[in-house]
Amino acid sequence: MRNHQLLVLSAIIALAGLGLFYYKAAILGLPLEPRERTSVWTVEARVQFQSRDKAARVALRIPESPPNFEVIDESFVSSGFGLTSEGVDGKRAALWAKRRASGKQTLYYRAVVHPGSVSAPPPPPNFPQPPEEPDEAFAAAAEALREEVRRQSADIPTFASMLLARLADPTPDEFARPVLERDMERVPLAIHLLAGARIPAREIRGLQLRDRAREIPLDSWLAVHDETDWVFFDPTTGVIGLPSDFLVWSWGDGPLLDVEGGRRARVDFSVLRNRHGSVEVARARAAVLGSPLPWLSFLELPIATQAVYQVLVLLPIGSLLVVLLRNVVGLATFGTFMPILIALAFRETQLLWGVVLFSATVALGLLARRFLERLKLLLVPRMAAVLTIVVLILGLTSLLGYGAGMERALSTALFPIVILTMVIERMSVVWEEVGARAALQQAVGSLVVAVIAYAVFSNRLVQHLSFVFPELLLVALALMLLLGRYSGYRLSELYRFRALGTTAEESA
């Protein structure tokens, strides 16, 4: 009966965990595998200006359905500013306003974007009327250039591309030279020349996404409508097509930033590649789906706390491992969860150095403990002394290692000193009471469990799944409950009772 209840309870717990896991993985699309390189980016625009002690109004152009990207999250940080965002014809802007602002003001706009979505581009403009040329000479030069380019091109994109290439040529030919003499910026000049051929073109501005890029400038690009679609050109080369990691920030001319009631206004951009990119995507999807479940993820926590949980979620997995190795395999260890803590320490030190350090420290500690034994100290002071000696041994290792240029030796700082002390104490008691064999057996057992736990802990998939899907720990819990009633043999008992087992075979 009790077994029956336990079975039902474990099944409920496991199903709850698996159900939530399924929901998050299959419906919200949280990634099942750790991906080193995600292509979700956080782009931040920072506006700074000096206020003039009166009402301030800031307009910052912000992206609106940039080609090749999807904006999955946006946020505005503006203390004391009222905010509206409006978008007209690809000229979406964030508008901040404040009755009274004084001193230096800083405003942030932050967008989380990821590539791949098809977004609706601004509608095609009307065919432009041929622009008014400043003078006859320019009009003739422009027409000559257009004629020359038209002869060599097949359609609108090739025409625009050839035109831009000629304008960008560092040694311009006789057709381009007279046009360039007019000292216009290249992109407006190109738009002007294209308009002369009744080809609609707009300037776009955007940025190249690079991880950890700070204070990067916006690049100007050219968008040309070829009667069906917008085609993009690099004005410095004439090459067709946006690079995949180029985020279009704003369309059309007009200032990027407009500040009324402030001076020395500037905007700069920084970019960060998101580590848990696909998680951001899933978060956005959860919002779209109107997910009724609370967002169960450690990724909502501050980074420092996340780091703690990245380690904490491994502990239940380690303890499940200990349950298996002790109750099913039957390994003897010092302390139930000591090997897990040792394994966590190995994460800092790396395996080989960790094992060496552990063995050496325990061996030296045992020697010290043996010496202290002769002094006949009381238990607690003696353990305190051993602890101090352990700290000294580790410190000495780091100093010597550092002197010898071994970086590894420095990673000992987090080695669980108290745990080591307990190991030394217990090992020496077992050594005296039961014998060296048992003591070494348990020490090796502990080390084996620690190494296995380390292997599990450093598996990227395990790290990823336990951190992104903490509900899987419920499955681990269910397994623990079930193993709690496991009354079968331990593997080691097959060896222990081999005398009994084999006699049965002989007699059979």
Partner 1 sequence: MIFQGLQERGVLGINARNADLISRWNERRYFPLVDDKLRTKRLAEKAGIAVPPLYGVVRAYHELKHLRERLADYDEFVIKPAHGSGGNGILVISDRYGDRLVKASGEVISAEDVEYHVSNALSGMYSLGGQPDAAMIEYRVAFDPLFEDVAFRGVPDIRTLVYRGVPVMAMVRMPTRASDGRANLHQGAVGAGIDLATGTTRRAVCRERMIEAHPDTGKTLAGLRIPGWGQLLDLAARCHDLTSLGYLGVDVVLDAKYGPMMLELNARPGISIQTANDEGLRPRLERVDAWLAERSDPPVTDRVAFARDHFGSF
Tokens of residue 98, six digits = 């404040």
As a three-state string, the secondary structure of 465-503 is HHHHCCCHHHHHHHHHHHHCCCCCCCHHHHHHCHHHHHH
Shortest CB 447 distance to partner 1, Å:
21
Residue 469 and residue 467: Cα distance in Å, rounded?
6
Residue 153 and residue 150: Cα distance in Å, rounded?
5
The dihedral region occupied by 194, where left means phi > 0, alpha psi between -120 and 50, and beta the remainder, is alpha
Residue 378 and residue 387: Cα distance in Å, rounded?
14
Q: Which is nearer to partner 1, 10 or 349 (CB)?
A: 10
Q: Give the residue among 427, 460, 37 at the shortest CA–CA distance from 211.
A: 37
Q: Which is nearer to partner 1, 273 or 426 (CB)?
A: 426
As a three-state string, the secondary structure of 72-89 is EEEEEECCCCEEEEECCC
- Bridge partners of 83, per DSSP, are 96
Q: Rg for the chain (alpha carbons), in Å?
A: 35
Q: Which is nearer to partner 1, 173 or 432 (CB)?
A: 432
Contact 475, 14 (CB under 8 A): yes
Shortest CB 501 distance to partner 1, Å:
4
Tokens of residue 273, six digits = 């590649």
Q: Which is nearer to partner 1, 263 or 374 (CB)?
A: 374
Q: Which is nearer to partner 1, 88 or 378 (CB)?
A: 378
Shortest CB 435 distance to partner 1, Å:
7
Q: Which is nearer to partner 1, 285 or 490 (CB)?
A: 490
- Token look-up 């003739």 returns 140
Shortest CB 73 distance to partner 1, Å:
51
CA distances to 159, 165, 226, 347, 407 from 194, rounded to whole Å, are 9, 13, 11, 61, 61
Shortest CB 496 distance to partner 1, Å:
6
Classify burial at 244, counting beta carbons within 10 Å of its beta carbon; exposed 0-12, middle 13-18, buried 19 or more: exposed
Residue 137 and residue 145: Cα distance in Å, rounded?
12
- Token look-up 């552990």 returns 358
Pseudo-torsion of CA 266, 246, 187, 85, nearest 10°?
A: -50
Q: Which is nearer to partner 1, 388 or 503 (CB)?
A: 503
Q: Which is nearer to partner 1, 359 or 502 (CB)?
A: 502
Shortest CB 475 distance to partner 1, Å:
22
Shortest CB 448 distance to partner 1, Å:
19
Shortest CB 384 distance to partner 1, Å:
12
How many degrees, rounded to 5, is the angle at CA 453 between CA 452 and CA 456? 90
Q: Which is nearer to partner 1, 120 or 380 (CB)?
A: 380
Number of C-beta neighbours around residue 255 at 10 A:
11
- Residues lying near partner 1 in the complex (CB under 8 A): 327, 330, 376, 378-380, 429, 433-435, 438, 485-490, 493-494, 496-505, 508
Number of C-beta neighbours around residue 220 at 10 A:
16
Please, which residues have CB within 8 angstroms of residue 16's CB and are 6 or more apart in sequence?
A: 471, 474
Q: Which is nearer to partner 1, 304 or 375 (CB)?
A: 375
Shortest CB 364 distance to partner 1, Å:
21
Q: Give the residue among 484, 347, 362, 489 at the shortest CA–CA distance from 428.
A: 362
Q: Which is nearer to partner 1, 299 or 372 (CB)?
A: 372
Shortest CB 419 distance to partner 1, Å:
15
Shortest CB 370 distance to partner 1, Å:
14
